[in-house]
Chain A
């Protein structure tokens, strides 16, 4: 199976935990006319990681790197959620049963309902299991 089309390039940005850092990132992306489709911030003591799905990841990477931000690409997958109780359980169970670990996850409200972004340890494996369970994965062309 061609799993590649379901692998989405997320950009991750290291950020110190101090006022104005998110504004700097957002300003830089805005300047380049880059649209942010989904994003989250994970914080630890004193620093954080900003994670975002954008329409032009390469351009975002270059722009932020040129501003001395520490940026990396990370492969994630996006599940189109069914908007009913137990929806999250179905997906989590599929992965859990296959012994695939979710490293982190965040959700956003997509055009056709909620979308769950997942970073897992076994990406290809996860894609196959999710698809064969009948759930829908968004292709990367939806984002970029």
Chain B
């Protein structure tokens, strides 16, 4: 069994906790002294760095939410200067403003090392050819995996998303051994390959898929493994943590959350109380080493549980089980996070359509299709079909720009969409994973 950094990965749990405490303490001291945002937050919570005397004192610290990044757009809570940053990534915001994350060189190194450990744990290394079919650009998926794969000495094929037939040709010609993409995109690749007469199992050297950025299930894993003749591994992350960050090991039984990089808690969403290992709740992460954008008790909104027993692979770091849902109404469409509030916000600025809408998500073949139904206002009804088509095209265009994902729009009669009292159920998710 291979390790990237066996000294850390197999460190006894007691030592890991000591290390975590030291990292947490120095992080909190640094933030209290040098960041007005974190200083004020701690004051509001009436907690001082002196109150952090053991690891469990993390519970005294205030939580952070995505809203904190939005409120401080673009970089007000960064704790590194622009000169110290080597990269930005940007994700679309829930109500117009995107969220910006920044990295120092050390942050990029930590991120790449986290992935290097994970990729090694699933059996990849020098000699492997890793096709990165996550989007490259503002999204963290492509570049994050790219740097991680280079770190272990693998050869990277940076295909990004799209042009699937070409991806399959290159997979064959360059003898790709592993692919990193969303699970639905891998299913799509499988289907396109079949149409091209390519049997991924026999005609390629593909042996592993590193799949994430959207929810999937054990059923999908079994199906893909049998169909494509690969091992399918789950990967977890989000741009606020850096990007795709934590993978499963060869056991395929939860992501190892490297204790020297992140302190993971599962909390009760309502009370904010920490839950015991094995109990299901909201994942909360504290990034212990980040320089540019430290996240303290960051509530990502994903629901899961922690396993603290030592993994059969020998790694002592806790595992987080497969993500089981969300605490909010966030949707993941082709790997992109979409909040219904983004749709609402965008529609509000288009006078031809009303404020009511309905989102219908379906899986057509392997890929997600998102349909937004909007009501045409009385004032903008035109007898000419071309005018109506233009309105629809404009709404599609505006939504696509706001959400970073292609959307179909259906114009419906005014008053025809369901009205809800209180928390509205504006999303019909027909996908069965």
Contact = CB atoms under 8 A, between A and B. Distances in A.
Interface of A: 10, 12, 14-16, 42-44, 46-47, 49, 51, 65, 68-72, 74, 103-104, 119
A92 B415 CA distance: 40
B175 interface: no
B410 A44 contact: no
Question: Which of B376, B381, B413, B414 has the most chain A CB atoms inside 10 A of its CB?
Answer: B413
B381 A47 contact: no
28 contacts: A10-B383, A14-B381, A14-B413, A15-B413, A16-B413, A16-B416, A43-B385, A44-B389, A47-B388, A47-B410, A47-B411, A47-B412, A49-B388, A51-B383, A68-B413, A68-B415, A69-B413, A70-B376, A70-B378, A70-B413, A70-B414, A71-B381, A72-B382, A72-B383, A74-B383, A103-B384, A104-B384, A119-B383
Interface in B396-413: 410-413
A44 B388 contact: yes
A12 B387 CA distance: 14
A42 B413 contact: no
A12 B378 CA distance: 12
**Chain A contact residues, majority secondary structure:** strand
A42 B385 contact: yes
Nearest to A71: B381
Nearest to B371: A46
Contacts of B376: 14, 70
A16 B412 contact: yes
Given A44-B389, A70-B413, A72-B382, 10 more contacts: A14-B413, A16-B413, A16-B416, A44-B388, A46-B410, A47-B410, A68-B413, A70-B381, A103-B384, A104-B384
Contacts of B378: 65, 70
Q: Which 9 A-B residue pairs are closest in the complex by CB-CB distance?
A: A12-B383, A68-B415, A70-B381, A74-B383, A46-B410, A44-B385, A14-B381, A42-B385, A16-B412
Contacts of A104: 384
Interface string B412-431: 11111000000000000000
Question: Which of A16, A65, A103 has the most chain B CB atoms inside 10 A of its CB?
Answer: A16
Contacts of B384: 103-104
Given A14-B376, A47-B388, A49-B388, A68 B414 contact: yes
A14 B353 CA distance: 14
B84 to A, nearest CB: 52
B357 to A, nearest CB: 15
A10 B383 CA distance: 10
A7 to B, nearest CB: 15
Contacts of A72: 381-383
B391 to A, nearest CB: 10
Nearest to B409: A46
Nearest to B412: A16
A65 B414 CA distance: 10
Nearest to A46: B410
A16 B358 CA distance: 15
Contact of A49 (B383, B410, B412, B415): B383
A44 B382 CA distance: 13
Nearest to B411: A47
Contacts of B381: 12, 14, 70-72
A97 to B, nearest CB: 24
Contacts of B414: 68, 70
A15 B329 CA distance: 31
Contact of A46 (B382, B411, B416): B411
B32 to A, nearest CB: 57
A68 B384 CA distance: 20
B376 to A, nearest CB: 6
Interface string B355-396: 000000000000000000000101001111100110000000
A63 B416 CA distance: 17
Nearest to B389: A44
Contacts of A42: 385
Given A70-B376, A70-B378, A49 B413 contact: no
Question: Which of A14, A49, A69, A119 has the most chain B CB atoms inside 10 A of its CB?
Answer: A14
B360 to A, nearest CB: 12
Nearest to A21: B413
A70 B374 CA distance: 14
Contacts of B389: 44
A16 B414 CA distance: 10
